[in-house]
């Protein structure tokens, strides 16, 4: 049972003994909290700071500009979603957050774009309103993709696999950067108002920068909500639903939620970066976690198939058009079977 979030410091990575300790700590963290603070990661503090500044500038744009970039206009799950567009926990009110998704700009000629795979395609950039934004997001996405690859190599070792075991699944990966802004909860908010309802993440890794306000909580097996307090200079990393599939449920993708308790009445900002395998990657139990007899808990699926199923659960009408549109295209449907 866990009551706090462990810290893993990549700074110790340079010696063999240090790496062994990191890998052991990672194995432990993934079997318990499924969350850890990642320190010593080498991403410059100034780069992260600049991301938060861009995010604040983006959300300060007039509503009509943000709405012109709405997610529902995208074939690749990129763009803006307004407060209330997503309800992560069906027993609560719609989430009190606004967000913006962007990712690698895959060209129209890329085979995955041609096939209509969700998550692949162009972005909706606010180029006219925010010059420089696109380049800054691209730089951050590249840095975070590299960090995600580094963590995946460590995760492979934690699973007693060669460190490059997952690397082939990460050519043309599904990665997404999300900017999030949580307004203060309104006066008169009740127990069903929430910033982000309880959910698990869908992919493999999430690497999150959060501001100094806190509000993120992860549920332990007792049902208690454990705070994930801000830790200066560290990312919060958590594993998503693909990892229990790889490990026959030994590694945990735990529910988490956000409540903006911020007493100063100010918004909370966070920057999750979702780092997942390529769309057509087969997700199956790895050899070191296969049960002694019988099939593993999860049947094989592709990464894309898994993600689409998860998205459909948490979006209401807003995304019906775009997601069903993808599903309806012959190529995409073929890839999902």
Considering the complex, state which of residue 70 and residue 110 has its C-beta at the smaller distance from ligand AKG.
Answer: 70
Considering the complex, state which of residue 75 and residue 199 has its C-beta at the smaller distance from Fe ion.
Answer: 199
Residue numbers 111-170 binding ligand AKG by CB under 6 A: none
Q: Which helix (H) or strand (E) holds 322?
A: helix 320-328
Q: Is 218 in the site for ligand AKG (CB under 6 A)?
A: no
By residue count, the chain amounts to 337
User: Which one among 27, 95, 172, 201 touches Fe ion, defined by CB under 5 A?
Assistant: 201
Strands (E), the chain: 7-9, 35-39, 79-81, 98-102, 174-182, 196-199, 205-210, 216-219, 225-227, 235-239, 256-258, 268-276, 282-283, 301-302
3-state secondary structure of 268: strand
Read off the tokens for 224.
């208690």
Residue numbers 163-182 binding ligand AKG by CB under 6 A: 178, 180
In whole angstroms, the minimum distance from the beta carbon of 235 to ligand AKG comes to 11
Considering the complex, state which of residue 216 and residue 286 has its C-beta at the smaller distance from ligand AKG.
Answer: 216
Per-residue contact flags (x/-) with Fe ion for residues 259 to 278, judged by CB under 5 A? --------------------
In whole angstroms, the minimum distance from the beta carbon of 206 to Fe ion comes to 6
User: Which one among 10, 22, 156, 216 touches ligand AKG, defined by CB under 6 A?
Assistant: 216
Which of Fe ion, ligand AKG, none does 180 bind, CB closer than 5 to 8 A by kind? ligand AKG
For residues 75, 73, 177 and 162, what is the CA-based torsion angle, rounded to 10 degrees? Answer: -10
In 60-176, where does DSSP find H-type helix?
63-67, 111-114, 133-158
Per CB under 5 A, which region of 142-150, 199-207, 275-283, 311-319 contacts Fe ion? Answer: 199-207
Distance CA 301, CA 50 (A): 38
- CB-based burial, 28-59: b 16+ in 10 Å, e otherwise: ebbebbbbbbbbebebeeeebeebbebbeebb
Q: Is 98 in the site for Fe ion (CB under 5 A)?
A: no
Q: Is 209 in the site for ligand AKG (CB under 6 A)?
A: no
User: What is the residue whose two structure tokens read 């995409």?
Assistant: 332
Binding site for ligand AKG (CB under 6 A): 178, 180, 196, 201, 208, 210, 216, 256, 258, 270, 272
Which stretches of the chain bind Fe ion, using CB under 5 A?
201
């Amino acid at each position: 049972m866990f009551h706090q979030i462990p810290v893993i410091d990549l700074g110790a990575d340079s010696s063999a003994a240090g790496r062994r300790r990191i890998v052991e700590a990672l194995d432990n963290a993934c079997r318990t909290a499924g969350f850890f603070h990642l320190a010593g990661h080498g991403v410059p503090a100034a780069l992260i700071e600049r991301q938060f500044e861009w995010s604040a500038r983006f959300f300060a744009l007039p509503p009509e500009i943000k709405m012109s970039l709405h997610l529902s206009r995208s074939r690749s799950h990129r763009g803006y979603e307004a407060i209330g567009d997503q309800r992560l926990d069906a027993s609560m009110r719609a989430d009190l957050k606004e967000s913006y998704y962007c990712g690698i700009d895959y060209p129209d000629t890329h085979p995955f774009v041609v096939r209509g795979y969700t998550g692949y395609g162009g972005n909706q950039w606010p180029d006219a309103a925010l010059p420089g934004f696109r380049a800054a997001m691209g730089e951050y996405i590249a840095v975070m993709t590299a960090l995600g690859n580094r963590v995946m190599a460590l995760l492979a070792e934690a699973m007693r696999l060669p460190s490059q075991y997952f690397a082939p699944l990460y050519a043309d990966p599904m990665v997404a950067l999300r900017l999030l802004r949580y307004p203060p909860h309104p006066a008169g908010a009740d127990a069903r108002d929430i910033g982000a309802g309880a959910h698990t993440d869908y992919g493999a890794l999430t690497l999150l920068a959060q501001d100094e306000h806190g509000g993120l909580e992860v549920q332990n097996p007792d049902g208690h909500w454990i705070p994930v307090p801000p830790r200066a200079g560290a990312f919060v990393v958590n594993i998503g639903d693909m990892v229990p599939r790889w490990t026959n449920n030994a590694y945990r993708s735990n529910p988490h939620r956000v409540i903006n308790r911020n007493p100063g009445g100010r918004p909370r900002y966070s920057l999750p970066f979702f780092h997942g395998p390529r769309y057509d990657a087969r997700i199956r139990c790895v050899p070191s976690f296969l049960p002694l007899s019988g099939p593993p808990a999860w049947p094989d699926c592709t990464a894309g198939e898994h993600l689409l199923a998860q998205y459909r659960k948490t979006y209401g009408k807003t995304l019906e058009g775009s997601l069903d549109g993808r599903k309806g295209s012959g190529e995409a449907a073929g890839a999902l079977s």
